[in-house]
Structures are given as C-alpha cells and as structure tokens.
Chains A and B, each alone.
Chain A
Amino acid sequence: MSNIKEIKNELLKDSYYEIDHSSGFKIFVYPKENYSSTYAIFGTKYGSIDTCFKKEGEKDFTEVPEGIAHFLEHKLFESEELDAFARYAKTGASANAYTSFDKTCYLFQCSGNFEDSLEILLDFVSNPYFTEQTVQKEQGIIGQEIRMYEDEPGWESLFVLLRAMYHNHPVRIDIAGTVESISHITADLLYECYDTFYNPANMALAVAGNVTVEQVLKIADKMLKPKTSKKVERKFQVEPENVVKDYDERHLSVAMPIFAIGFKENVKTPERTLKESMESGILLDIIAGPTSSLYEELLKDNLINTTFDTEYFEGYGYSAHIFNGESKDPVAVRERINAEITRVMNDGVDREAFQRIKKKHYGSLIMDFDSIDSISNSLISAYFNNEGLYDQLKLLESITAEDIDSRLKNAFNIENSSMSVIK
C-alpha cells in the first residue's frame, strides 16, 4: 500500500499530495483546478557532476567519462522495439528531457491520453536498452550538440568562469562532456551508471495540472516495480578556498565583450540551506538588481546595457554569486562591483530596498504557481534538496535585513573571485 499525505497551503489555496509508493518511489501530485493540460516529470538526482562514485558495499570508486549522465539521457529514449518518441507520437504528448549539473529529468506535457503517456514515461525510464551500435550513432548527434554550444558566448563565458573558479570540483566540466570524452562511452558504462543512479532512493515523479491521485497511482501501480534502493557515495575532490585564476578569456566572434564575474563561496558543508539560497537571491538584487544604485550608475557611465544580470549558482559542493553582462570595459565593471560590495559590507544593506525586494520575491514565488511546468520541476528540486514545495513562502517572511548583512559577509570574499571574458 502507498502512503498518501496531503500538503496544503492556506495562502495559495492550493494543495498537493506526497505519496510514498509501494515500489519505494516518491510521487508528488499537484492537481490544478480547471486546467486542461498535465505536466509529468520523472527525475533522478544524477547529473554531470557525478563522475566519480561508489555503490553501497563496493570498495573502490568508479570513475566515468565526462558527459555520461547527459549521454544516458539521450540513450534512454531508445528501446528494443519502438523508441519513446515514436510511442509518444501515438498519444500526442510533447516529450523532452534535460540534464543539469545535479539531475536528469524526463518529462512530457499533454492535454489528452494522460495515462498512456505516463505509462510510456515510467516504462522507458525503467527499462534501459543500449547497444554499441546505437551508442555510436548518438556520438554524432551529441557531438553536434556540443559544437552548437561552442558557438554560444553566454554558455562559454559561464564555463570559462567555472574553470577559473574551481580547481577540482566537477562543476567545471561541460554538462555534455567533450567530443573526446564521449568517445570513451560504452554500452557497459551506461548500464553501470543507470544501475547506480536510477533507483527509488535517488528518484522522484511529479505530476501537476489536470490530474488526480487515482490516475497517477493506477499507472504507477502497474509500471513501477519494487526495486532495491542503492545508497551512493559521491566522491568529491577537496576544493581549495581560493580560485584557480583571477581572470581568463576566450575568443569568439562577438559584438562587445561578454563577461561573467563569480565570487566563490568557501563552503564548509556540501549543501547550502534553502534560507541561505533565498538570502543570496535577495542580496544580489540589493547589490546589483534593477533598482540598485550600482545598476543605475553603470548604465549612466555606459559600462553595461540591459543584458546585465545576476545569478546565485549553487549545488552539491559549490556555491557562487555571479554577475554577467556585456561591456566594452569589463575590468571597470568588476572594479565597480567590488567597490559596491565593500561599501555594502561596511554600511549594511539598505533597509528600504530590502523591504521592497522581499515583496518582489514574494510576488514572484506566488506567480510561479500558475505554471504546471514550474510546479513539477520545483517539486523534484525541492525533494532532492530535502525541502518542501511551500517552504520558501514560509521562510521568506522570516528573513531579516540582518540575515542579508551576514550572508554578504559569509559568502563574499573579493580575493576569491574570478572573471571570464569572451571577446
């Protein structure tokens, strides 16, 4: 029997169901009244950073080629008979998948034939089928995907930055790997990774939209067979506090230099708390958001344009505050950002700005609940981070300006920052 728990939120007037399925898998169902479509996502906490791991009971760590999680994502769509895309073509669902630094997710959206499409999703993700021949065919396709990213300056600037900041952490490698690294991928290695990460302890299913718990359970009961959960130990090299390089650049044909500046946080534990992440978001808005003095002055002085943006970038074992944009003089932008960080560290964050930005974050949290795509993806992320979907709303209220001041002091060290420039 599956254990079902309803989780309500009074403010949103919404609720969702958290199910401990008899197969061992975690399932979330978020019905949305009067919606016509449904979005389902089946994910594993396994991404590009998981290149060295050890299964419970094993003695040695296994090291696998860079880009293998993404390669596996591509290959899982294939089966001995019809591939998953051909099967979805009969139900009409729009299907996709993605691999990030720390997870791989398979998804579809549909407005009809939901149960059939869910059956396909659970089936193909549960039944791998790889041969040397199909692996080889994929090397050509993924090779072109890698080549496509090589022409995208924003993407390149992020990875040049990550390699400038991180000595050992695998976040510095490309999600899809390199043409060279994927040439070492074999069917056996794919089975090995599948076996390690695709089991109940490491996976979850989330469905939102025009759906009921009964519909999901009907298919889950049929398709999800009890499977032994495996504990995985991830190996991360010790990451020094300092950055590799203060500055690095790469040449691509661009109109104006594209920069990214990252402040590497010295992390003592692998994961940040949800509160710390939220504080970081508010902090970046206060320092350099669209209502900050820094933003206005950089615009006035012709140092940035409206592509300027910030991002809090974190995952297992890494955390950085990133500022990016286009500038004819990225070095000058960096100096101004450093000066502003120092000033705010001394003066504390502006209390009025803090209140306004908190309100902004409140608004954007609520508006996200209109999107079944956003709800389903957030359910998966929250679960992998041991959080509840509504935790952010509860936490936001408790965050104070003093919390932001101390977050700034703890997370930023101007000495431990890097800049990448694409020009």
Chain B
Amino acid sequence: MSSKSYTEIAKGVKLLCINSNKFKTNCIKVDFYLPINEQFPALNVLASLMGHTSKRYNTVKTFNSKVEGMYDACFDVSIATIGEKARMRFSMEVLDDKFTLDGNLISEEAVDFLVDILKNPNCDENGFDEEFTAREIRFTLENIEALKNDKRSYAVTRLRQLMCKDEPYGIDYEKLENDVKMLDSKALLTAYKKMLTDSTVVITACGSIDGEMLTNKFKDFVQNIENRNPQKLETIFITKADEIRYFTEEMEVNQAKLVIGLRAGMNDANDDYFAYRVMTDIFGGGPYSRLFLNVREKMSLCYYCGARLVREKGIILIQSGIEEENYEKAVNEIFNQLDVMKNGEFTDEDFNSSIIALSDAFKGVEDSPVAVCNFYSSQDFDEEIVSGPEFAEKISQVTREQVIEVAKKVSIDSVYLLKGEGAENE
C-alpha cells in the first residue's frame, strides 16, 4: 500500500503534496480536466492567454518581469488531450526558499501568483482584454498551422485524426482552426467560467514547500468558485479494429514518415495496463526491442522505429522515418514483429531485458521535482496511488504468458504514410 493519498479540498478538487528535502526547486501543477467538447477551441486560446497576462500583470513586460523576478520561475500554461479529456495545466517551478538572496519566501509568492492568475485573469464582465484576445487567437492559429513544420509529429496528428475520425480523440485541426477564427473575447470568458465550474481539478506539488500553506491557499480559491459542477469525463475505448485501413498523403518531405495505429484491446486505462506496458516495450521500446533490432539494426531501413502505448485511449502508435521505396518492406517487417509478439516467439532475453529496463526506470523516477509531479499526475484518475518503486514492482510481476495474452488482443487499425510530393512519378 502506498503511503500517499490525495486530500479532497472541494467538490472534484484534490491535492497531493509530495514533501522532499532533497531538491533545490519546488514544482506545482494545477490540472483542470474537461471533456473535449465545444469549449475546446476556446480553451486552446485561453491556455495561451492565461500564460501571458492577468488583470494585475496586464502587459507582456509586467507579466514576464514578475515571473523573471522570482528567480527565473518557470511558469507555463498548456493544453493537452489525455485520452478524451482536455487538460489545462498551470505549472510552476520555483527556486526553494533557502536559496533566495534576500531571504524572501519565494515559494509562497509563487503560490500567490498562481492563484492570482487563476482567480483574476485579464478580463471584465464583458470579456477578455480585446488586444490580448486578438493576439492570442493569432498565436493559437499560428501554432495549429505550425504543426506541419514538424513532419514527424504532423504524421502522428494525421494518423490520429484519420484513425479516430468518429471519436473525440481524432481532433480535426482544420475544424479547430476555423472554430478558433470565430472566437471573441466573450467566448473566452465563457470558456474560462466553464473551466472553473465544469472541471475536475488535481493539484500536485513536490519539494520542501509548505503543504499546509499550499492547501489553504488553494482551498480558499476553489471553495469560493460558485456552481461547481464537474462534468463526467469519459473516453471511448475501441477494443478491436475491423480491418486495416491504409492512408497515403503527400507533402514536401525528404524522408517519408510512417505511422501505424493499433487498437490495444483495452477496455479502460487500467485494463491489464502493466502487461500492455511490457508488451509494447518488448515490441518497440528501448534498443533491445524487436522493432529496433530488426527494422533498424538488421535491415538498416531507418534511424528510428518505435512503439508507444497511449494508455488513456487504449491505442499503440508505431513511428518510423524511411525511404519511400522501403515502405512495403518496413510495414511487412513491423507486422511480422507484431506476429512474433502474438505467437509468443520473442525470446526470454527480450522479455527479461524489458522487465529489467522498465523496472529500473521507474525505481529512479522520483529524482526531480518535475518528474515526481509528472509521474503522480499520470495517476490522476487511478484509485490507488503508487510510488515509483511500487510501480516497478508491478512491472516485474508481469509474466511472459500475460504479455502473449495481451498481444493477442492487439489489432491493426490504420497505416499512414506521409511521402514526398509526386514522388511516384520521378
């Protein structure tokens, strides 16, 4: 049993403070979880805006000077999708009090700043500041368009959209772009209010920060939010793909990008999670994995070829960069290696390498405040919180038979290739 537990500080708001004296930094993450719904476009803009301005610090200069003045505190607001939940994350890393030059209690100052940002954004009763609204809409649009700058992640985005077309997970960026263009300062205000009332909130902190101070300040903030009504957060888990779908798109790329999406066969994020984790790792994790050893080392087809499990959605993503002419060769070998997993033809050495590498990594996961916060916040919706060493223990209990069993449930959904324009005519 883990000694760590959340404190419920208001309806749908929980807080976990991991005290540790070994660090020189404190880290605080405040996560607002919401369904991916019609507010999602506005939340994207809001995340950017709230990371750059507030009522008190209403210019770029005053806002950034405040953050910089706290000894290079690292403050960031981001939006991400965790399965089919939208997560607005307000994060802060700040120097520990014992290192300030003037004896200032900087961790308290940082918490005050964080609460102030959340409580008093740059808006009045009619909407957000117009100038910032326009600028932040521009940033958001530029961000969406810039997705195509990074061809590797663009290919993943496209696979995700095509494979999960009828699920909220398959975000349609073209639609998102159009929706963002339609937003105004009033719509952002509505989204902000929804963020406060409709979300499930998890606060995670790590360092030598005073947990009582932190709890009281956040309590005071969240208990005063009126009409709290956290929305249900659900993710669709499709356990089996009917048939393999193939997609090819063209873009100006030098190297073709291959992405394959698998349905893991999980019913929810905890369904045989540890066995899936080990299975995916043997298949395409470290340099001991089947994909690395065969597609890269044996066949020299690529520099990278790996697989990762998206636990919160029950899918597995495989990525590689190849010459277009090697497309069939690479896909066949990846499929072949998946069969090796299903047929239990991987060696004991493959299995042991994965168990020992994963356990080792999780045993050492609590060696930086940011890593600690990330590790625990990945368990935000789990019933039991486990520590790094406990997590490692669960990994090491996975058996070879369990790995084969879950591998058998995996089905191939979509194969996506991003290739050079008009390449077939050359």
Chain A interface residues (CB < 8 Å from chain B) = 11-12, 32-37, 85-86, 88-95, 109-113, 137-138, 140-142, 144-145, 147-148, 150-153, 209, 251-256, 258, 289-293, 295-296, 299-300, 302, 305-307, 326, 356-357, 359-364, 366-367, 369-372
Contact = CB atoms under 8 A, between A and B. Distances in A.
A7 to B, nearest CB: 18
Contacts, number: 189
A91 to B, nearest CB: 7
Contacts of B103: none
Given A291-B61, A296-B60, A299-B60, A144 B323 contact: yes
A42 to B, nearest CB: 18
Contacts of B150: 152
Q: Which of B64, B388, B389 is packed against the most chain A CB atoms within 10 Å?
A: B64
A194 to B, nearest CB: 22
Given A253-B252, A363-B72, A91 B356 contact: yes
Interface string B104-137: 0000000000000000000000000000000100
B61 A296 contact: yes
Given A12-B24, A255-B146, A85 B287 contact: yes
Contact of B149 (A94, A142, A148, A258): A258
Most chain A beta carbons < 10 A, residue from B138, B143, B254, B369? B254
B254 A147 contact: yes
A356 B69 contact: yes
A366 B100 CA distance: 10
Contacts of B286: 89, 94
A290 B68 contact: yes
Interface in B16-37: 20-25
Interface stretch (B6-14, B264-272, B299-307): B299-307
B367 A144 contact: no
A41 to B, nearest CB: 16
B25 A295 contact: no
Contacts of A256: 142, 145-146
Contacts of B1: none
Contact of B300 (A140, A251, A292): A140
Contact of A141 (B142, B296, B357, B361): B296
Given A151-B254, A153-B149, A144 B71 contact: no
Given A89-B357, A367-B72, A137 B101 contact: no
Interface of B: 20-25, 48, 52, 59-61, 64-65, 67-73, 93, 95, 99, 101, 135, 138-139, 142-143, 145-152, 251-255, 257, 286-288, 296-297, 300-304, 321-323, 349, 352-353, 356-357, 359-361, 363-364, 366-369, 388-389
B357 A35 contact: no
B95 A367 contact: yes
A37 B61 contact: no
Contacts of A150: 254-255
A394 to B, nearest CB: 14
Contacts of B149: 153, 254-255, 258
Given A295-B60, A367-B93, A110 B138 contact: no
Contacts of A292: 61
B71 A360 contact: yes
Given A95-B287, A296-B59, A370-B24, A302 B148 contact: no
A89 B288 contact: yes
Contact of B24 (A258, A306, A366): A366
Given A12-B24, A153-B149, A370-B368, A305 B138 contact: yes
Contacts of A367: 24-25, 72, 93, 95
A372 B152 CA distance: 29
Given A85-B287, A111-B364, A253-B148, A94 B22 contact: no
